[in-house]
Chains A and B, each alone.
Chain A
Amino acid sequence: MSKVPADLKYTKTHEWLRTLPDGSIEIGITDHAQHALGDLVFVEVPEAGRAVKAGEPCAVVESVKAASDVYAPVTGEVTAGNPRLASEPEAVNTDAYGGGWLMRVRPTPGGATAALMSPAEYEKLQQEEGD
């Protein structure tokens, strides 16, 4: 069973969200997702300033056997892409919820948000998908 930290929110497309003190949202992919992909060889994150829309692809994670889109869970403006991933994509494998974060987004007030799940709900989803 993959790790599902209790202090985060999740999406059904396997992204996690952390609300930072300044109100922006840090986004990554879950331990379950990184495990399913295998060793990541390339991660493409958006540049600061880019506008993202909830439910639309905003980043790509690539392993030798799959390339997956990462969907923005909220509408807003990217404040940072994780610069470390350009040279160390494996950080997503080794530290999915920490050093392997993908981007930070400042949500647009009143903007759309994807349906979010609690840790318990996400664990249930994992079980259904056969973790």
Chain B
Amino acid sequence: MAFIPHTPADVEAMLAAIGVASIEELFDEIPATLRVKSLAGVPDELNEMEIGRLMTERARTDGHPSCFIGAGAYEHHIPAAVWAITTRGEFYSAYTPYQAEASQGTLQVIYEYQTMIASLTGLQVSNASVYDGASAVAEASLMAVRANRKSKSQRILVPTTVHPHYRKVAVATAGNQGLRFEEVPYSPDEGVTPLAALSKYENEDVTALVIQQPNFFGRLEDVDALTDWAHARGVLVIAVVNPTSLALLKPPGQWGAKGADIAVGEGQPLGVPLSSGGPYFGFMTTRLEYVRQMPGRIVGRTVDLNGREGFSLTLQAREQHIRRAKATSNICTNQGLLVTAATIYMSLMGPQGLERTAAASHARTRELVTGIARLKGVRPAFQGPCFHETVMLFDRPVAPVLKALASRGILGGLDLAEHYPELGPALLVCATETKTPADIEAYTTALGEVMQSVRAA
């Protein structure tokens, strides 16, 4: 029996100890009318050899194309040690560290993680992570409503340059509690949020402003000016950042005169494989004064009965298992395993390795852009600096171009037709440090050939 160790003799002895004649009898409190008649839709069992064969075939079907899509999930080198250690049974098959004495490993990893993420974002405190980058934006918005006591409007300004899925998740998650998300348009020439776009909110009650850096287009926003604008009006700032970029870019804690109030983002670039979108993890940091408004688990260092240092979950009174209906969130989990991977990744990269990863990714994207911008019918969409991702405009529809590239084993980027139709045919494209000059050359050449076969609009 798969994963059940009982011998017939065991079962017999156990039934005798209970005082029943059969396992069936143990279900005698369940009304007979409710009992399952058949599970015909579930196939027969496969042994490990058979499932291995099946999965290998399925994986092969998906292939291993050369990927130039970013849009919130980035292919980076992952050291072999990261997942070799993360999947050790002691991390992989442990529960939430409620019994601190039996979970010091997990707890210390989280403490180290909190330290690294807090420093990376330039803020004082971090939680143990939330589900992903999108849900982190939703949770940060709810948190801002709790933290900004002067504002009564529950109104959150979200530039259109914030990841479109993040905006949708925020509405789906926090809309039920009455939060209103209002879009702030971008400058069509520059692809960033101009201060002028905020002027209509000059004298209105706004709870928080979300700023993504780099934004969805890969463009760098004027974070200092936006942050100062918000703070001058009692509006909290929620920074949405790419952790790799923070090796090079100014951390949210230093934006403007006072720094952002909450920083969140998708942790995936830190050692987590693309794997169809998850599991990833969302990080969240804030100022010390807002720590009690932060959702999710937090680990603290303390001492034991003998005065020796140790780690435990702290500030639990905010959480659902104690506060119930008044909890800061219903969240129970953090993405523990992913945080473990990220902590090992950040330790192996160190400040220098992360900086090189960021710089090399940026360099590859610039090379790619230079290459494809030479092609007739392709040009950059916006003026001004980017980080490791950018938008290219085409003189013909992007979908057939991408399809033709995919048939050659190249995923050429993300078609922006669905989310930003106003741009016309537009492609969001990204290269990371994993791409070689030969990969970029192959992409440029293939695109040039494919452009011949797709007619200009």
Interface residues of A (CB under 8 A from B): 42, 44, 62-67, 69
CA distance in complex: A44, B326 (Å) = 15
CA distance A64 to B302 in the complex (A): 13
Contact A64 B316 (CB under 8 A): yes
B322 in contact (CB, < 8 A): yes
Interface size bucket, B side? Answer: under 10
Could you give, for residues 143-158 of chain B, a 1 whenever the CB lies within 8 Å of some chain A CB and a 0 otherwise? 0000000000000000
A100 to B331, CA, bound (A): 33
The answer on a CB contact under 8 Å between A64 and B326 is: no
The 6 nearest A-B residue pairs measured at CB? A67-B317, A62-B317, A67-B323, A66-B322, A66-B317, A67-B322
Q: Which residues on A sit within 8 Å (CB–CB) of B317?
A: 42, 62-67
- Specify the chain A residue showing the minimal Cβ separation from B322: A66
Q: A64-B316, A65-B322, A67-B322 are in contact. List 8 more A-B contacts (CB 8 A).
A: A42-B317, A62-B292, A62-B317, A65-B317, A66-B317, A67-B317, A67-B323, A69-B326
Question: Which residues of B263-322 have CB atoms within 8 Å of chain A's CB atoms?
Answer: 292, 316-318, 322
How long is the Cα–Cα vector from A44 to B318 in the complex, in angstroms?
Answer: 13
User: What A residues does B292 contact at CB under 8 A?
Assistant: 42, 44, 62
**Chain A residues near B323 (CB, 8 Å)?**
67
Shortest Cβ gap from B356 to chain A (Å): 42
Output the nearest chain B residue to A61 by Cβ-Cβ distance. Answer: B317
Name, among A44, A62, A69, the residue most crowded by chain B CB atoms within 10 Å (CB to CB). A62
List of B residues within 8 angstroms of A44 by Cβ: 292
Give the distance in Å from the alpha carbon of A89 to the alpha carbon of B201 in the complex. 40
Give bound CA distance, A52 to B35, whole Å. 56
In the assembled complex, the CB of B125 is this many whole angstroms from the nearest CB of chain A, namely 14
Instruction: Give Cα A40–Cα B18 distance, bound, in whole angstroms.
Output: 46
Q: Whole-angstrom distance between the alpha carbons of A6 and B318 in the complex?
A: 35
Chain B residues near A66 (CB, 8 Å)? 317, 322
Contact pattern, B 373-401, Cβ under 8 Å of A = 1, otherwise 0: 00000000000000000000000000000
Q: Give the shortest distance, in Å, between B99 (CB) and chain A (any CB).
A: 15
Residue numbers in B under 8 Å from A64 (CB-CB): 316-317
CA gap between A66 and B326 in the complex, in Å: 11
| Nearest-neighbor residue (CB-CB) of B313 within chain A | A64
Most buried by A among B316, B317, B326: B317
Within 8 A of A (CB), among B48-71: none
Q: Which residue of A lies closest to B312 (CB)?
A: A64
CB-CB under 8 A from B316, the residues of chain A are 64
- In the assembled complex, the Cα of A111 lies from the Cα of B179 at a distance in Å of 32
Contacts of A62 in B (CB 8 A): 292, 317
A19 to chain B, nearest CB (A): 29
18 chain-A/chain-B pairs, Cβ below 8 angstroms: A42-B292, A42-B317, A44-B292, A62-B292, A62-B317, A63-B317, A64-B316, A64-B317, A65-B317, A65-B322, A66-B317, A66-B322, A67-B317, A67-B318, A67-B322, A67-B323, A67-B326, A69-B326
Residues of B contacting A42 in the complex (Cβ-Cβ under 8 angstroms): 292, 317
Q: Which residues of A contact B326 (CB under 8 A)?
A: 67, 69
Q: How far, in whole Å, are A116 and B292 apart by their CA atoms in the complex?
A: 31
